[in-house]
Amino acid sequence: MQTIALGIHGGCGVMARSDLDEAGWADARAELGRALQAGWDVLRADGSAVAAVEAAVVVMEDSPHFNAGFGAALNADGQALLDAAIMDGATLAAGAVSAVPCSRNPVRVARALMEAGESVMLTGSAADRFAETNGLAVMDPGYFVTDRQRQALARMQAHRAAGTDRLASEAEKHGTVGAVALDAAGHLAAATSTGGFTNKPVGRIGDSPIIGAGTYARDGACAVSGTGAGEFFIRHVVGHEIASRMRYLGEDIAAAANRVVMDDLAPYGIGAGLVAIDSLGRVVTPYNTQGMFRGWVTPDGTFHVGTHDEIYVLNG
């Protein structure tokens, strides 16, 4: 059987170890395991990489542990406006949505848009209308807002008022979710979803829905989903840069991904991380922050998850 493999991230804006007790961290790891299981079930049934990354991201969009969908970060007006993208490495087809106020699972809308084939990106209420037309769930905007994110917004606005923005923790600032997969047909795919960063300017769009920046997949090279300070991912076209280093310089997935995260983005002093997979099913998860929610399934079916430095093996 052709190798299959899966990797996910739940954002590099991970809290300090002391911010949760061990039961809380165990819950977060269990949620990562659920996302892995959803994507892995698709791959084991000979489903496509596109379907697998969508399934994994939907689990994280529906979980309050992550900054996407339900429980997404709030902008300066206290709104959750959502961004997502998906890309098929076999065809380079892609779909993306931005600043979406009501669609329950933006990654599903992005996939439907990709499959419709007319546009790559829709924004705002137009994306919600497209979702409704295609039978996808649309919620009241209040559905997405949680007490945890209200508190995070209050802290970030206090930092802004005091001029201490740079002292805020990565957990207070941002987070993202994403998935990458290799399917039994040898195809790659990537998907990313986010609420952006807490207290973001109204109308701001980050890298997650930008094809080639926060989301990219190309058969024969890699699939990439990023997390961190999106403005810099856009400027460095991070996903495409990693694929290009592999294609034109002959670097392997680990060398290319580490070069971009640890070297190219280092001068900016920003939080950055990503999950990437190559055509052999090798998954890498470099990050330069205190931690990153992440997980992967190796071709033999072993589940791995981590929040900080330690890696835990789960039963898949």
pLDDT tens-digit series, residues 125-150: 999 999 999 999 999 999 999 998 99
Output the pLDDT for position 27.
Answer: 86
Average confidence (pLDDT) over 62-67: 92
Output the pLDDT for position 169.
Answer: 61
Residue 181: phi, psi to the nearest 5?
A: -150, 155
Distances (CA, A) of 114 to 84, 86, 121: 12, 8, 9
Which residues are tagged catalytic?
176
Tell whether the model's pLDDT for residue 288 goes beyond 70: yes
Average confidence (pLDDT) over 255-277: 95
**Count of residues in the chain:** 316
Angle at the Cα of 313 (from 311 to 271), degrees rounded to 5? Answer: 30
What is the average pLDDT value for the chain, to the nearest integer? Answer: 93
Output the pLDDT for position 316.
Answer: 53
Q: Where are the domains of the chain?
A: 5-314
What kind of architecture, by CATH, is found in domain 5-314?
4-Layer Sandwich (3.60)
Tell whether the model's pLDDT for residue 170 goes beyond 70: no
- State the angle between helix axes of 49-61 and 22-44 in degrees (0 to 180), rounded to the nearest 10: 150
Average confidence (pLDDT) over 206-220: 98
Predicted TM-score of the model (pTM): 0.95
Average confidence (pLDDT) over 157-179: 76
At 80-104, the pLDDT tens digits run 999 999 999 999 999 999 999 999 9
Output the pLDDT for position 171.
Answer: 58
Q: Please report which confidence band the pLDDT of residue 172 belongs to, taking 50, 70 and 90 as the band edges.
A: low
